[in-house]
Chains A and B, each alone.
Chain A
Amino acid sequence: MASIFNANQIYLYFGGIKALDGLSIELEEKTITALIGPNGAGKTTFFNVAGGVYPPDSGEIYFKGERIDGLRSDQICLRGLTRTFQIARKLGEMTVWENILLAPKNQVGEGVFGAFRFGAVKKQEKENWEKAKSLLNDMGIYDQRNEYAKNLSAGKRKMLEISRAIMTEPELLLLDEPTAGATIDETKSIMSGIERLKDEKGLTFLVVEHKMDVIMNLCNPIYVMYYGQNLAKGDPQEIQTNERVLEVYLGGG
């Protein structure tokens, strides 16, 4: 299997704090890889570096064979890597459908003059909305399509955020706690949705999650990080029996 994403020896300092201390992560195509670790390990920081929020102090990130470290978030997204956020960030004073239709790339109507190409814009809006409909149905937020995003429950906001990310038609999705705040049913439908996208569309996922049942059932391989460093990598079986992982998580040993 080919590697689609390779972060090599990433260092990032915040003043004297080593937030990322030589972290390396490689993702195989069409896999769901997990990134776990105790609070403060640097998981979200790694997402921010990979997603272009901050450039790493040293180290390289390759995506589809091209270097992406140092690019801006929007440039990284246009290359096919989309990330979501730990706390579902929403465009609150915009409706659910506006949130969704914001995401597709290369829209005719995003130019100052393109906005006045009425026919072309309308056609593209219809096409994009057709794609969005079944996604929103799967995610269970179709009925809220005309609501303001700020009025959604925490679980539905997560659904909205994931749907929005999928609408950018990425090849790699970085999901930061996709089931946080979701109910048990919602968690199940998010998990099955992720699996279906991997199988049907060949997407690759990197998932940060705290719910161990989600990780162990959904992801393979699993990376464990601790204080900005790699601690372990393996399949769920190996990780569950790895002594260093147990020590970090359970504090015993």
Chain B
Amino acid sequence: MEIFSWILTIATIVAIYSILGLALNIHFGYANLPNFGIAGFFAVGAYASAILTVPHRFRQMEIFAGFPGGIPGRIEAPFIVGLLAAIVLAALIGFLIGVPLLRLREDYLAVASIGIAETIHYVALNELWLTTGSAGIRLIPMPTGNRYLFFLVVLLILAIAYWITQRFYHAPLGRVWRGVREDELITSSLGKSVFSARMSAWVVGCAIMGAAGSLWAHYAMAIQPGEFVPTTTFLVWIFVIVGGLRNNMGILIGALLIIGLFEQGTRFLPALGPPYVMPAMRLIIIGLLLIVFIRFRPQGAIPERATTIEKHI
């Protein structure tokens, strides 16, 4: 039964990362918004959900003893409240950050978004009353109380995120987003506000990243600021590029391949040399794979596929 437990772990992680990948597809694949701050919105969702749902018991833990005035453990809301709060808060923070951010050109936007995610990371690290700082939040309840059942919850939310992402691709709004991606001047001269289009894509993507954060907190049952660093962001970028930017099925396959096989799968290989060799090998292999894809198959394993008008209507 050990093997089932291990597969379940990988499958849950892959599913949560897939949700992040779908959100990145809305940002970068549809609307050409290179968001390098994924970890930030992931953190907002995780912390919002954790702070709201963590039981009072957490306050008695030794690591919490230093923050008597703190918020965590006071609210004890159910998971669904945490999840919704994660979505709403990530969307709201995305909106506020978007007001200045989305006026930037793509390359500057990419740089600024890394900075914003790092800012969020440091807020989590330093606002002890809210987040308990580097000690992190523990005892976050896993709804259903059972990893197998919780995996189904994650799958359900992945399915909803997939459905929403697909719908936006085909809906008139997604067409406006892609119009902005292809040529802002044309899209604007056809009566579409470029700023509103970028904003709606941005907020929708941030909200989905928030949902993924909530699931992560309840799955891991403990979070700390160190998890929400640029490495998390880059991993999402890598599997989205390898799997197929602009194609949602490609993104699921990319997540399975990169997160599943390479991040977790190397555990089964015989250890070579000292213990630090295998993790380093993993990163080297992922890096090589990324280079190979960008050089030889920039559209990813499964590229964007156009629909015919006959199918559309």
Q: Which residues of A contact B (CB under 8 A)?
A: 51-53, 72-74, 77-78, 82-83, 85, 89-95, 97-98, 101-103, 105, 107-112, 114-116, 121-122, 125-126, 129, 145-146, 148, 164-165, 168
- In the bound complex, residues from chain B placing their C-beta under 8 Å from that of A74 are 188-194
Give bound CA distance, A165 to B189, whole Å: 9
Q: Which residues of B contact A (CB under 8 A)?
A: 167-168, 171-176, 178-179, 181-183, 185-194, 200, 203-204, 304, 306-310, 312-313
* A110 interface neighbour in B167, B172, B304, Cβ under 8 Å: B172
* Cβ-defined contact, B179 with A102, below 8 A: yes
* B179 interface neighbour in A94, A105, A126, A129, Cβ under 8 Å: A94
Cβ-closest 3 pairs across A and B:
A109-B172, A77-B191, A115-B171
- In the bound complex, residues from chain B placing their C-beta under 8 Å from that of A98 are 175, 178, 306
Q: How many A-B residue pairs have CB under 8 A?
A: 118
Please, could you name 5 A-B residue pairs with CB atoms under 8 Å apart, sorted by A?
A98-B306, A102-B176, A103-B191, A111-B173, A112-B203
- In the bound complex, residues from chain A placing their C-beta under 8 Å from that of B204 are 112
Please judge, given known A-B contacts A94-B182, A115-B168, A115-B171, whether A164 and B190 are in contact too, CB under 8 Å. Answer: yes
Q: Interface SS of chain B: helix, strand, loop or mixed?
A: helix
Give bound CA distance, A39 to B76, whole Å: 71
* Cβ-defined contact, A97 with B312, below 8 A: yes
Please judge, given known A-B contacts A102-B187, A126-B313, whether A72 and B193 are in contact too, CB under 8 Å. Answer: yes
- In the bound complex, residues from chain A placing their C-beta under 8 Å from that of B179 are 91, 94, 102
- In the bound complex, residues from chain B placing their C-beta under 8 Å from that of A102 are 172, 175-176, 179, 187, 190, 192
Nearest CB of B to A119, in Å: 13
Nearest CB of A to B181, in Å: 8
* Cβ-defined contact, B172 with A97, below 8 A: no
Give bound CA distance, A91 to B184, whole Å: 10
Please judge, given known A-B contacts A115-B174, A126-B313, A146-B306, whether A53 and B186 are in contact too, CB under 8 Å. Answer: no
